[in-house]
């Protein structure tokens, strides 16, 4: 059954405590990300956690732009990357080489690795933070990141699992207001309440029910929710331009090998794009035209 607050992100404010909060649940957003892939379960869960983290992070942005959360390592999971924007459009991708056990920990998957957070405003300067993966979970690494980069006490809940037989990921963020009016005692009190959230509450309740369950003695001001969705930014044009980056001889060889049609599959969403010689020539003409115009 489709629940009212599936694929939603809520922001709220604890009015008497100068602490803000966010809650997100990713249903279709998460399962559509996994659709075209057969990731080991531990990788699937990690991607769910990264999707939640990216969603919560982009919701703290005060500008339009994208955030990329990326893990690189030397273990069987070579790369895991999630991309999100201020409209809560998210996508994720993992590259696995070798076996990943069902119960593999973050470090068993990654080996020696880092977590890279790139914040790319539509207008303005990019920011990149590199975090050592020296804690057992993404959640703890990110709490550390907020403390170091923004000097803001932040508490995160990030969980993945199943609800009524379908994969789901959810999370909460609690952050002391940047204006310095919140006290550590108030923050700790709310963090303790937040930490009591059960999986079935996070995955099954509406926002209203959940916030009441956790904070019924608090004054919580809740803002209009945002929808979250899986959205890949790929296009025929981008794939065509990627082919043009190859040397001409290589394109010729590929065409010969593949009966005159090169197929490009998007790693992220699985969409296939087909190009024959004529289509590639058209892309080339278009690119030459733009080059001549100095674009």
Interface positions with Zn ion (CB under 5 A): 232, 234, 266, 268-269, 271
Which helix (H) or strand (E) is 93 found in, with range?
strand 89-96
* Smallest separation, CB 260 to Zn ion (Å): 24
Q: Which of 102, 100, 50 is nearest to 78 (CA)?
A: 100
- The conformation of residue 79, written as its DSSP 8-state character, comes to E
Shortest approach of Zn ion to residue 237 CB, angstroms?
Answer: 12
CB 31 to Zn ion: min, Å: 16
Give the position of tokens 């550390």. Answer: 144
Q: How far is the CB of 91 from Zn ion (least distance, A)?
A: 7
Nearer to Zn ion, 68 or 206 (CB): 68
Identify which of residues 162 and 267 has a Cβ nearer to Zn ion in the complex. 267
Can you give the length of the chain in residues? Answer: 295
Q: Which is nearer to Zn ion, 34 or 152 (CB)?
A: 34
Phi/psi of residue 178, nearest 5 degrees: -65, -15
- Compare residues 10 and 283 and give the one whose CB is closer to Zn ion: 283
Record the tokens describing residue 81, joined without a space.
């990357």
160 in Cβ contact with 49 (< 8 Å)? yes
**Minimal distance in Å, beta carbon 135 to Zn ion?**
32
- Which one, 167 or 266, has the nearer CB to Zn ion? 266
Distance CA 140, CA 134 (A): 9
């Amino acid at each position: 059954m489709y629940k009212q607050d599936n694929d939603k992100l809520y922001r709220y404010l604890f009015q008497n405590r100068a602490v803000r909060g966010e809650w997100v649940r990713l249903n279709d957003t998460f399962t559509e990300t996994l659709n075209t892939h057969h990731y080991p379960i531990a990788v699937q869960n990690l991607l769910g956690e990264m999707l939640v983290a990216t969603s919560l992070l982009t919701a703290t942005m005060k500008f339009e732009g994208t955030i990329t959360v990326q893990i690189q390592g030397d273990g069987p999971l070579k790369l895991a990357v999630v991309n999100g924007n201020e409209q809560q459009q998210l996508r994720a991708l993992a590259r696995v080489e070798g076996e990943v056990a069902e119960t593999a920990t973050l470090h068993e998957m990654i080996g020696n690795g880092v977590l890279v957070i790139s914040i790319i405003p539509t207008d303005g300067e990019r920011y990149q933070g590199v975090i050592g993966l020296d804690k057992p979970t993404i959640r703890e690494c990110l709490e550390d990141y907020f403390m170091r980069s923004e000097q803001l006490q932040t508490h995160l809940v990030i969980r993945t699992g199943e609800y009524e037989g379908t994969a789901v990921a959810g999370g909460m963020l609690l952050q002391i207001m940047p204006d310095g009016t919140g006290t550590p005692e108030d923050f700790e009190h709310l963090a303790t309440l937040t930490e009591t959230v059960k999986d079935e509450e996070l995955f099954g309740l509406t926002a209203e029910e959940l916030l009441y369950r956790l904070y019924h003695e608090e004054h919580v001001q809740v803002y209009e929710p945002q929808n979250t969705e899986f959205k890949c930014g790929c296009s025929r044009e981008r794939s065509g331009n990627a082919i043009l980056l190859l040397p001409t001889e290589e394109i010729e060889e590929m065409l010969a090998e593949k009966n005159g049609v090169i197929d490009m599959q998007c790693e992220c969403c699985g969409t296939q794009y087909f190009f024959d010689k004529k289509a590639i020539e058209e892309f080339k003409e278009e690119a030459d035209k733009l080059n001549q115009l100095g674009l």
